[in-house]
């Protein structure tokens, strides 16, 4: 322990703590911008400076250690002046067009500037040129970048992807695509973690809201929208809705008056994915048991982009099952269109996802198996949906709950946990157990694969076969796992990978809470929904049973292969 004073108040913190830790322990409000615990402690923004008695110069509190006997002042006149000047310098290189910024109201720079009472600043604004391809699902606007380096660090250390770096163009130093390359030419997985870790509006998803408004306004078009599992953990954040208030039924009620014709549940197609992928696993099992590579999940397009560029030798062992989003799209424009008597060419199929990579996935030329048109026509992130609801002045607090449309509205507990790391694995094991033994699995018998650890392993007995499984979330963890698989250091039968830490609950398209990691709490909410679900196993879903009976036949049938599988994934 070290003991020091912060603004005259004595605090003790563990040795090795920073001055910032001590300030927080003393409840002193020290602003930060670039700081991210254990990821980015570089002290570059210099708004966290404090005065330490006996030091001539102010020190950055985030990367200097607290020392016994130190006397720290967090809000002296000297500190206030310095913070103000540092902020003004940052603002002079920032496009302060807050009114048209997606992060307005949720921007740390705006908050610090407002808190310091900066209503004007002396320096001339000098912005770098704006250049970014408009078609790319992820957008960087360097006129808003404050060079905090958070995106660089998250992409390097958490996602092992190295897309961003400091680049030097003429007189300006910028954070931009590494090596000065075009974003199309680097292996960006589109996980969107740089967006959710950006303190300002320099990074965002491509906004596709107007495409949806156009479809809603077209009288010839039937709009069908699917809602992903993990959306239900976060969509109400802007309105401060708690978990039990931000139910998916309430989101359905919010979307109906906007004019969507049918609202369906991606949990249904998560169950469908399990039926296909579980069957595929049993087919793949002899290969892994004989020493071959495991089968890898395929539902996360961020992971699929990563494995294709980093581990091409593993691509043949990625499941051919399409993601639930894409399976739903294919079913909507075939079975559902037939059921409703609709021309599939006149359906607009939208999905609401916690994900930026899904905006790339739906557009792949391999994802048009139902009628030749894209199976999914547009993807909105949770943040875009929040903006739509706000634009439509939907009073979400006043809404009751409404059910999904039928058939395709029922999802099971297995479908809902897809949104959390380990959930796809657990869902698949439940159904594989049933397929092999003919018996329902005991409740929670596969819960060993739950939790936030980045690389989890477990072994289960499947009717006498030892099934070795692993789960990774966060691409640096996936990278380590793949490396070990290729080197023969580990052997598994089935591996789940989700690109975002914690799975889709921590997705790059989720609402942003700067500096907070919410995947753990959101994942718990999904497991809570699983626990109280009427059906907990995908094979029990009555809509799934019906879909196979009426349309698909059985898992891996010719029709299922045609609509629901691909060996390309892009």
Identify whether the C-beta of residue 19 lies closer than 8 Å to the C-beta of residue 59.
yes
345-364 positions binding ligand SF4, by CB under 6 A? 354-355, 357-358
The H or E element that residue 2 is part of is strand 2-6
Of the residues 329, 422, 508, 523, which one makes contact with ligand SF4 according to CB under 6 A: 508
Interface map 153-192 toward ligand SF4 (x if CB under 6 A): --------------------------------------x-
The H or E element that residue 470 is part of is strand 465-473
**Residue 502 binds: one of ligand HC1, ligand SF4, none (C-beta under 5 to 8 A by kind):** none
Identify whether the C-beta of residue 509 lies closer than 8 Å to the C-beta of residue 192.
yes
Virtual torsion, Cα 391, 396, 400, 404, nearest 10 deg: 50
Stretch that binds ligand HC1, among 107-115, 160-168, 222-230, 383-391 (CB under 6 A): 222-230
Interface map 475-504 toward ligand SF4 (x if CB under 6 A): -----------------------xxx--xx
Report the nearest approach of ligand HC1 to the CB of residue 290 (Å).
Answer: 29
Token pair for 256: 């109906």
- The answer, yes or no, to whether the previous bond of 407 is cis (omega within 30 of 0) is yes
Burial of 313 per CB tally in 10 Å (0-12, 13-18, 19+)? exposed
**Residue 302 binds: one of ligand HC1, ligand SF4, none (C-beta under 5 to 8 A by kind):** ligand SF4
In the three-class reduction of DSSP (H, G, I as helix; E, B as strand; rest coil), residue 265 is classed as strand
Decide: is 428 part of the binding site for ligand HC1 (CB under 6 A): no
Burial of 415 per CB tally in 10 Å (0-12, 13-18, 19+)? buried
**Residue 324 binds: one of ligand SF4, ligand HC1, none (C-beta under 5 to 8 A by kind):** ligand HC1
**Residue 325 binds: one of ligand HC1, ligand SF4, none (C-beta under 5 to 8 A by kind):** ligand HC1
Token pair for 206: 């491509």
Interface map 333-362 toward ligand HC1 (x if CB under 6 A): --------------------xxx--x----
For the chain, the distance separating the N- and C-terminal CA atoms, rounded to the nearest angstrom, is 54
Of the residues 272, 300, 378, 389, which one makes contact with ligand HC1 according to CB under 6 A: 300
Decide: is 302 part of the binding site for ligand SF4 (CB under 6 A): yes
Identify whether the C-beta of residue 360 lies closer than 8 Å to the C-beta of residue 190.
yes
Nearest CB to ligand SF4, comparing residues 355 and 485: 355
| Pairwise CA distance, residues 178 & 135, whole Å | 19
Token pair for 106: 């949720």
**Residue 306 binds: one of ligand HC1, ligand SF4, none (C-beta under 5 to 8 A by kind):** none
**Residue 508 binds: one of ligand SF4, ligand HC1, none (C-beta under 5 to 8 A by kind):** ligand SF4
Angle between helices 77-92 and 108-115 (to 10 degrees): 140
Measured CA angle at 420 (ends 419, 425), to 5 deg: 95
Note the residues at the interface with ligand SF4 (CB under 6 A). Answer: 191, 300-302, 354-355, 357-358, 498-500, 503-504, 507-508
Note the residues at the interface with ligand HC1 (CB under 6 A). Answer: 228-230, 266, 270, 299-300, 323-325, 353-355, 358, 418-419, 503-504, 507
């Amino acid at each position: 322990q070290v003991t020091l004073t912060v603004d005259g108040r004595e605090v003790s913190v563990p040795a090795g703590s920073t001055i910032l830790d001590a300030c927080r322990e003393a409840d002193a409000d020290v602003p930060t911008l670039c700081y991210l615990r254990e990821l980015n402690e570089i002290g570059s923004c210099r708004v966290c400076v404090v005065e330490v008695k006996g030091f001539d110069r102010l020190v950055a509190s985030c990367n200097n250690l607290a020392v016994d006997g130190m006397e720290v002042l967090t809000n002296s006149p000297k500190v206030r002046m310095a913070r103000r000047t540092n902020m003004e310098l940052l603002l002079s290189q920032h496009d302060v067009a807050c009114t048209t910024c997606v992060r307005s109201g949720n921007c740390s720079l705006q908050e610090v500037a407002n808190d310091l009472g900066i209503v004007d600043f002396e320096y001339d604004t000098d912005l770098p040129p704006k250049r970014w391809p408009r078609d790319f699902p992820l957008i960087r606007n360097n006129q808003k970048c404050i060079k905090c380096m958070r995106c660089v660090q998250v992409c390097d250390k958490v996602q092992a992807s190295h897309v961003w770096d400091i680049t030097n163009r003429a007189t300006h130093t910028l954070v931009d695509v590494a090596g000065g390359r075009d974003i199309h030419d680097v292996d960006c997985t589109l996980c969107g973690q740089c967006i959710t870790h950006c303190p300002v509006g320099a990074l965002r998803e491509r906004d596709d809201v107007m495409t949806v408004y156009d479809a809603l306004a077209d009288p010839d078009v039937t709009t069908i929208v699917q809602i992903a599992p993990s959306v239900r953990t976060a969509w109400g954040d802007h309105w401060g809705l708690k978990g039990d208030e931000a139910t998916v039924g309430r989101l359905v009620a919010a979307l109906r008056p906007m004019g969507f014709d049918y609202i369906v549940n991606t949990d249904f197609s998560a169950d469908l994915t399990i039926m296909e992928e579980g069957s595929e696993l049993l087919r793949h099992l002899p290969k892994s048991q004989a020493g071959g590579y495991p089968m890898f999940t395929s539902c996360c397009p961020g992971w699929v982009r990563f494995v294709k560029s980093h581990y091409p030798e593993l691509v043949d062992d990625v499941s051919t099952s399409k993601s639930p989003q894409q399976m739903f799209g294919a079913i909507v424009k075939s079975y559902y269109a037939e059921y409703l008597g609709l021309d599939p060419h006149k359906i607009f199929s939208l999905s609401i996802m916690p994900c930026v990579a899904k905006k790339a996935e739906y557009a792949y030329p391999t994802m048009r198996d139902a009628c030749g048109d894209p199976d999914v026509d547009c993807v909105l992130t949770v943040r875009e949906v929040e903006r739509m609801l706000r634009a439509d002045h939907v009073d979400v607090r006043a809404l009751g709950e409404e059910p999904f449309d039928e058939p395709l509205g029922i999802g099971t507990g297995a479908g809902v946990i897809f949104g959390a790391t380990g959930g796809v694995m657990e869902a698949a094991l439940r159904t594989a157990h049933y397929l092999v033994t003919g018996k329902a699995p005991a409740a929670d018998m596969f819960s060993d694969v739950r939790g936030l650890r980045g690389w989890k392993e477990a072994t289960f007995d499947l009717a006498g076969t030892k099934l070795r499984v692993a789960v990774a979330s966060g691409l640096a963890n996936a990278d380590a796992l793949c490396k070990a698989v290729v080197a023969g250091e580990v052997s598994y039968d089935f591996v789940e990978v989700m690109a975002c830490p914690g799975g889709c609950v921590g997705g790059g398209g989720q609402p942003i809470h700067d500096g907070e990691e919410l995947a753990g709490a959101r994942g718990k909410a999904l497991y809570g929904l699983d626990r109280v679900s009427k059906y907990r196993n995908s094979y029990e879903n009555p809509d799934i049973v019906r879909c196979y009976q009426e349309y698909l036949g059985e898992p891996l049938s010719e029709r299922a292969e045609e609509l629901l599988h691909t060996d390309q994934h892009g």
